[in-house]
Structure formats: structure tokens, C-alpha cells
Amino acid sequence: MRRFPDGFRWGTATSAHQVEGCNRHNDWWVFEQLPGRIYGGHRSGRACDWWRHAEADFDRMVELHLNAHRLSVEWSRLEPEPGRVDEGAVQRYRQMLQGLRSRGVEPMVTLHHFTLPLWVARRGGWENPAVVGWFRTHARRCAEWFGDLVDLWVTVNEPNLVVVLGYLQGRHPPEVRNPWRARRAARHLLLAHAAAYHALHEVQPHARVGVAHHLRPMDPERVRHPLDRWTARWHGEWFNWMWLDALHGSTPRGGFRPWGTEECAGTLDFVGVNYYTRDRVRFSPWAVHAALGLHRPTRGAPVSDFQYGEIYPEGLRRVLEEAWRRYRRPLWVTENGLPDAEDRWRPRFLLDHLEALHRTLAQGVPVLGYYHWSLVDNFEWTEGWRMKFGLVAVDPASQRRQARPSATVYAQVCAANALPDP
């Protein structure tokens, strides 16, 4: 058997809005009520009912032999109005974190996973410089409230997608398609991370703090075409590495550092890698809205449900090795998964990606844990309930659960801390 290091963390990942239910005080709840924003008119509603009954799914983690879970706390629950703390929400999160700990499951906590309190969004969200201070306060309070139960923190989930989907493509709140506003939001996201990093360490000097960053290889569609190669390279630098360069303090390649973020340097204790797929990039002078590059899967490659992305396990090894080469920080695979309602691909997907991860570890790259996205089917943002990422199927109407065959595959790996012989 191909063993993983002793103490390796085996987990799953979720986010508050996608599983808790009834998060009425954030920008996504309001966005969901608008016609045409969410596939099929779906809404998060009760989601997976974690706010009331998360512990039943925590028991499922034990059945799967997990020893870790990544979850987020919902800022708008903790501070539904500026300066007003909901003590009941603080206590419920403590109960959930204690529930994980009592089951031998170590929590990794994310402070921002796509949603903003309505009071923040209505004051300009990530475009308002004041958001940096508001987020610093949120981080400091979370360390004070939960620091005895958590020392592994993610400040922001996928800041690159927050900007691309919310400020360039306009598919997520606040529905902006403006590169100058996107640049402003990017700067404040980076500064907010740095402010949160320092606030967490002021309360918890021993805390480990990083980001969960969406990374995807960008390869030219036409390998010998110079414009495809150029477009793929600069899209990759901006989408993947500009953000981490700024937080690490690396010299940016090609001038991709956002202005005024020098103070962010040295604010990465680890790099969280969210990996799903790769893109083939083709130069197009007509694709002004997409920065002159069209992105699609490799022709003829297997693709997950709804053309979500090419199934490409080798990409996980590539992004982990590149992140280690650039930053020399410990790594976590903070998300990895695919939408696969029939579980056609997921069992093999898991084994192939974990085999790529095992090879990465063999090269001396310090990956400390793997979190599969996700434990349960959940509300998948603008895709509503149609994309099924869970090891456990969920019917949002009845809240019934049914483990998929891939759950057994993952449980066997976690129990053995090893991959089966090929």
C-alpha cells in the first residue's frame, strides 16, 4: 500500500451559506430572491440544515474515518448589524466546533467564504476601504470567541474568484463588470487578509493563518501558437499567482502586483490550494470581455457534469509543486472535487487525485492534509441544487441523506492512511 505521512489530515470542506440554512442577513440571500440569478429559481432555504442539525453530519464524518473538516463561520450571523454581536450565534458556533473536536475531527475555519453581511454590501462591500477595518474586527473577535477550539484559519476563500465572478463577469454579487472596480476590490481583499492575519496572531500567536486559493493550470490550446502560449501564461500569472505573490512578498512576474499592497508581504503561514480542473486557453482578439482568452477543456478529455471542468488529476501535482517552488510554505489541499450526481467519475477521481498527491509528497513537498469538496450535496451558488458535489447525496426538500459509493472509497483510504495497491 502507498502510505501517507503519520498525522496526515483527512477531511471534507463546506461553507456556511451552502449548508447552514436561513442565512437571511447576507448579500447572497437577497441575490437569490432576484429573478433569473439562480438556476431554476432555486434558493438556499434550509440548505443542509446545519444550523440546527450539523451534528448528524458530524457523525457521518466519524463513519468515514475523517480527522479534519474545513468549515466557515458566517459573518452576518455573528454581526447582523454593524457593531451588534449575536451571542446566540457565537454559542452555536462554539457548540459546532466542540462537536467536531469531541469526535476527533480538527476544524479549519474560514472567515469569509463568498458572502458579506448586508450592512457591509450596502456600504460598498469590497470596494469600500473601510471593509479592511471591519474584517479585521471580525477576525479578532473570532479568535477571541473560538481560539481555544481553532488554531488553523483561512481568512478568505478564493479571492481571485470573488473578483472574477463578482466584479469582472458580474455573475455573483455585486454584479459588476468593470475592471477598475475589480482592481479596487482586489486590493481591499488582499489588505483585508493581511489585517485579519495580524489580528488573529495578536490574539493567538501560535495560530496558523493562510488563504484557500483557487489554482488551475492554464495551458495553451494550440501548443505551438505563440499567442495562445502568451495568453495562457499571463492569464495564469494573474489568476493564480498574483495574489499569493503579494501575500508572500515575492517579486511579481510581468507587473501583476496590485498597487498599494506592500504591507501584505509575509502574511502567509500556509497556502491552501483549491484544485478542480485545468483550462486550455486560446487567444481571441474578439474576447475583450475575457481578457483576450477563451477557456475550455482539452478536446476529448473526460468532463464532469454540466461541463464544469476537465478531469485532470495531474493538475493537482502541478499546482502543489509550483506553489511550493514559489513560496516554500506548508500546503493544504483545502478543496478538491467534482459535480457528479451519478457517481460515475468520483471514485476514480478520488483515487487518481490522491495518487497524484502521494507522488507530490514523495518529491518532498510538505502537504499536510486533504479536504474533499464536499461531504454533502449543498447549495452551489448560481447553479442552485443541480450540481452534486457530495460524498453523501442530500434531498434539500426532505433532508434525507444517502452515501454514494465514493464515500466508501474515501473512507477506506482515510482509515488506512494509504492508497490501495493498484
Of the candidates 262, 234, 233, the residue with the CA atom closest to the CA atom of residue 248: 262
Q: What is the pLDDT along the chain (422 residues), one digit of tens a residue?
A: 899 999 999 999 999 999 999 999 999 999 999 999 999 999 999 999 999 999 999 999 999 999 999 999 999 999 999 999 999 999 999 999 999 999 999 999 999 999 999 999 999 999 999 999 999 999 999 999 999 999 999 999 999 999 999 999 999 999 999 999 999 999 999 999 999 999 999 999 999 999 999 999 999 999 999 999 999 999 999 999 999 999 999 766 655 566 678 899 999 999 999 999 999 999 998 887 778 889 999 999 999 999 999 999 999 999 999 999 999 999 999 999 999 999 999 999 999 999 999 999 999 999 999 999 999 999 999 999 999 999 999 999 999 999 999 999 999 999 999 999 88
Contacts of 102-105 spanning 24+ positions with Cβ under 8 A: 103/58, 103/59, 103/61, 103/62, 104/62, 104/67, 105/11, 105/58, 105/61, 105/62, 105/66, 105/67, 105/68, 105/69
- Distance from chain centroid for Cα 358: 21
Phi-psi region of 22 (alpha: psi -120 to 50; beta: other; left: phi over 0): left
Confidence at residue 1, expressed as pLDDT on a 0 to 100 scale: 85
pTM above 0.95, yes or no: yes
Q: How far apart, in whole angstroms, are the C-alpha atoms of residue 374 and residue 368?
A: 18
Q: How far apart, in whole angstroms, are the C-alpha atoms of residue 152 and residue 207?
A: 6
The letter for the amino acid at 85 is V
* Residue 3, phi then psi, degrees to nearest 5: -85, 155
Confidence at residue 257, expressed as pLDDT on a 0 to 100 scale: 62
Beta strands in 304-357 (DSSP E): 331-336
In this structure, what DSSP letter does residue 103 have?
T
- For the chain, what is the total number of helices (H) and then of strands (E)? 14, 15
Confidence at residue 255, expressed as pLDDT on a 0 to 100 scale: 52
How many structural domains are present in the chain?
1
CATH number at residue 329: 3.20.20.80
Decide: 45 and 386 in contact? Cβ < 8 Å: no
* Residue 159, phi then psi, degrees to nearest 5: -60, -30
Of the candidates 320, 238, 315, 306, the residue with the CA atom closest to the CA atom of residue 272: 320
Place of cell 447576507: 26
Q: How far apart, in whole angstroms, are the C-alpha atoms of residue 142 and residue 392?
A: 29
Range of the domain at 298: 2-419
Confidence at residue 422, expressed as pLDDT on a 0 to 100 scale: 83
